[in-house]
Structure formats: C-alpha cells, structure tokens
Structure 1
C-alpha cells in the first residue's frame, strides 16, 4: 500500500546549516517513528516558507542516503502572519501498516501547525 506522511519543522535561521540540520532532524524523526528505510520511500515533496532561501531542504535527504528517491523542493504559499522559517514535507511510502498507524511529525515551533496530529 502507498501511504503519505506529513511533517514540518521550524528552523533557527535562513542559513545553510540551519536548513540542513532542521531538515535532517525532521527526516530522521519521520523515518524512525514510522520504522522506514529509504527503500520504502517512493518520493518526498519538500516545501519551505519564502524566508528560507539559503539551501534546498532536499540536500539533507540526499546526505542521509536518499540517492534513488525522487525529491523536489517548492516554496510554500506566502500567507500573511504564517509561521516563519518552516520546512514541510510529504513523503509517499510503501508500507503494510494501516493509515491510522502512520506517524506525522511536527517539531520545534511547527508543532503549532498541527496540534491535532503532532507527535
């Protein structure tokens, strides 16, 4: 079965190290909490708020071994008053686990985005 997993993290600053570190933390948390390997991942869509321009979040996934997984980065909609410095992702994975067991991960300040499903 194919499942989608959502996640987000608020990073400290618009610099390469902050974006890579935050995205790495988010990807590792999603992979760990859902007991996944890169072989389970079909694709990952990353978005970043318009204030994050120093690096592509997908680079963090490549550094973690996502060499054969299609990745893409986009800019999040610039909504007035939205939480700043947020990297979001939606991963499509192959798993036998039911949808109700998928662990969506919201870290740091991004917990405020989805308090209903944040782990």
Structure 2
C-alpha cells in the first residue's frame, strides 16, 4: 500500500543555506516519526511559495545519506493564493507502508504549524 506523508516548514530568509537546512530538518523529522527507509519512498514532491527562489530544497534529501540519491524528487511552485502563508516549503512524500492512514504522522515546523493544526501530533500520542 502507498500513503502520502505531508510536511511543511517556513524559512526566515530566502537564501540557499536556510532553504536546504529547514527542508532537511523537516524531512528527517518526517522520516523519524514514520520510520521511513529510503527504499520505501516512491517519490517526493516539494512545492515552494513564489518567494522561495534562492535554492532547490530537493538538495536537502541528498544530504541525508547516500541511499536517498536514488529517490525521485521534484520541486515546483505552489499556487499563489492571496493572503496565504509566505516563505513556505511543502513536502509530499509517497511511501510504501502498512500503516493505516490515521496513524501517519504529518509534520509541520515553524510558521507552517498554522496550515493544519488538526494534523499535529498531541503529546503522548
């Protein structure tokens, strides 16, 4: 069975180092919380808001370890909805898992916690 694992974060400044750092922190947290191995990842889509232009967030996955170099990753621009969250990086990771949909841990960092507060894990869950 395949499932999507959602994650999102924001950056303070539009620079390549922060884009990669925040994306790497997010993806590592998604991996840790869902016990994901790179071999179980079908592909990863990463979208950014129009104000994130200084670098490719996909570079972050290549820094996790060598096994991630074979995972297909694609970056794209998020639709520009008026008054939406700025400087945002969103990740959709498609994985092979037997975990039920309700048990997937979606991860939100920084200002992105505003996107889906209903999906945030509660302490002790």
Shorter-chain TM-score range: over 0.9
For residue 83 of structure 1, the aligned residue among 82, 85, 93 is 85
Indicate whether 1:12 and 2:17 are aligned.
Answer: no
Where structure 2 has 5 or more consecutive residues not aligned to the other structure, the ranges are none
- Name the Cα RMSD after superposition: 0.8
Match of 1:54 in 2: 54
User: 2: CA distance between counterparts of 1:86 and 1:5?
Assistant: 17
For residue 92 of structure 1, the aligned residue among 91, 94, 118 is 94
Give TM-score scaled by structure 1 length.
Answer: 0.96
Give TM-score scaled by structure 2 length.
Answer: 0.92
Match of 1:110 in 2: 112
User: 1: CA distance between counterparts of 2:93 and 2:84?
Assistant: 22
Segments of 4+ in structure 1 off by > 6 A?
A: none
Indicate whether 1:2 and 2:11 are aligned.
Answer: no
User: 2: CA distance between counterparts of 1:118 and 1:70?
Assistant: 27
User: 2: CA distance between counterparts of 1:96 and 1:115?
Assistant: 25
Where structure 1 has 5 or more consecutive residues not aligned to the other structure, the ranges are none
User: 2: CA distance between counterparts of 1:32 and 1:77?
Assistant: 29
Could you tell me how far 1:118 is from its partner in structure 2? 2.1
Could you tell me how far 1:100 is from its partner in structure 2? 1.2
